[in-house]
Chains A and B, each alone.
Chain A
């Protein structure tokens, strides 16, 4: 039970500082004692239903603000929206009262078959209109704004005739959604496709950016060149820290999250990474009065 006083004192909004992605192996440490962090983000689908996971999350929620980050809604699919998925997400939102609800600029299913991966979209007018409709419908159903995150991608479709940064900016303008700017994904895709990541940042409107993500990538050497993989299994790379510093200068003090999903280290390592982000957030952010 959440004490009444806690509910009144703590509205659950996400503060403009560094949080971490909370994964199951670290859950016990969050339940044992308050960690030196104000908010966490979890993958929404892992807490669907009324099983043991969501009950543990509700205990975390008593002491931390929570952001729900979806990986399975398949917003960009040409299939109809999955109503069961939407209903389960809506129930979770009602229960958790998250500070943010976010989804990815991607698709993960077609013809009812799920690949359970974040697949890239063709950046076309058709896809843009489709996405804007879908985001609008989801926001109407949830009665709240959602954030849309740019993904890492390993290929570009010849169908695409809009740069990704314009697509993201237009989607926010048309649907009113917020932007979850994944700085690592900007960097990874910039290297994979050969664009300027700083130009990407400059093309994203300041107002809608509500949250940023940071994570580690893996470099893979293949015949014909190298490719960066958004592996979430290591510390944030120096190039991404630099890009993040530029992002804080442009977008101001914004909640920022350290994501780490596989080869999960001790919680302390994640908190250290969050500390680095916090330092950059505080020192590099220069408010122009």
Chain B
């Protein structure tokens, strides 16, 4: 191993975990200050920058649990989950699952879903806008082939479903919120569409039928199968009306009549899959 690699491995160990600091100390030039205190400066920087990244991505989650609990939890996450990119904005995608597994927050059962909404918002904010589907291109498709079409959602769209009123919880806890301050936790769940516009991100509730149709399409289902699922999710569902809305809102960006050859699961928009009827 090169001396450079060896030093970087050993030093990063000492920075990440203080129990390795003493062993590394002899490799630091003696000059007044204690070597372990010097390493500690780097440890603080390392932890603080990742914790602050999480606080910036998850401001409402932080508000719900309070600053000190959030920092403590984020600190444990930083020790457990390594950063793998020099673009720090990518860090923290599994924080909602980390929260869900955390003991002691049973009375905040909605918290992981609020965090999922915040991650979806963050991801969509950083995603590219794609031109909506050109309806002229659809004219080349024979009507009898429509049932076999598969559609793709834009990269800057996410779907999420929650058993809790997470949209209301989230809105109420935004700094700029001006409305009332009360949310009934038992008012029922929501189906959400998180969508980027030119210079903002919108979060909207969707009806069970619209959500199911979009979710199944995002999962790579044939149009006919997706419509059948949506009809069972919402009695009286109008698929023509729903598709017209999707086209108008730019929610479908491409289509094909073949199954996606590298179809390994849902498109980028899928966070929660399945369109079971909501628990009310």
Which residues from chain A sit less than 8 Å from chain B, CB to CB?
45-46, 48-53, 55-56, 70-74, 77-78, 82, 84-85, 88, 107-117, 119, 121-122, 124, 126-127, 130, 154-160, 193-194, 222-225, 227, 229
Contacts and interface: CB of A to CB of B under 8 A. Distances in A.
B28 A110 contact: no
A89 to B, nearest CB: 9
Interface of B: 2-5, 7-9, 11-12, 15-16, 26-29, 31-35, 37-39, 41-42, 45-46, 49-50, 53, 82-89, 91, 125-129, 156, 196, 198-201
A70 B86 CA distance: 9
Nearest to B156: A51
A130 B28 contact: no
A130 B3 CA distance: 12
Given A117-B46, A154-B38, A159-B3, A224 B32 contact: yes
9 contacts: A51-B125, A53-B126, A70-B86, A107-B8, A113-B82, A154-B38, A193-B29, A194-B31, A227-B38
A116 B89 contact: no
A224 B36 CA distance: 12
A122 B7 contact: yes
A119 B11 contact: yes
Contact of B33 (A73, A77, A225): A225
B127 A115 contact: no
Contacts of B31: 156, 193-194
Nearest to A262: B52
A145 to B, nearest CB: 21
Contacts of A111: 9, 12
Contacts of B86: 45, 70-74, 82, 85, 108-109, 114, 116
Interface pairs A-B: 5 shortest CB-CB: A72-B86, A50-B128, A51-B126, A78-B5, A155-B38
B82 A157 contact: no
Contacts of B82: 113-114
Contacts of B49: 116-117
B195 to A, nearest CB: 12
Given A51-B128, A224-B37, A77 B88 contact: no
Nearest to B199: A52
Nearest to A70: B86
Contacts of B41: 154, 227, 229
A229 to B, nearest CB: 7
Contacts of A159: 3, 7, 27
Contacts of A71: 86
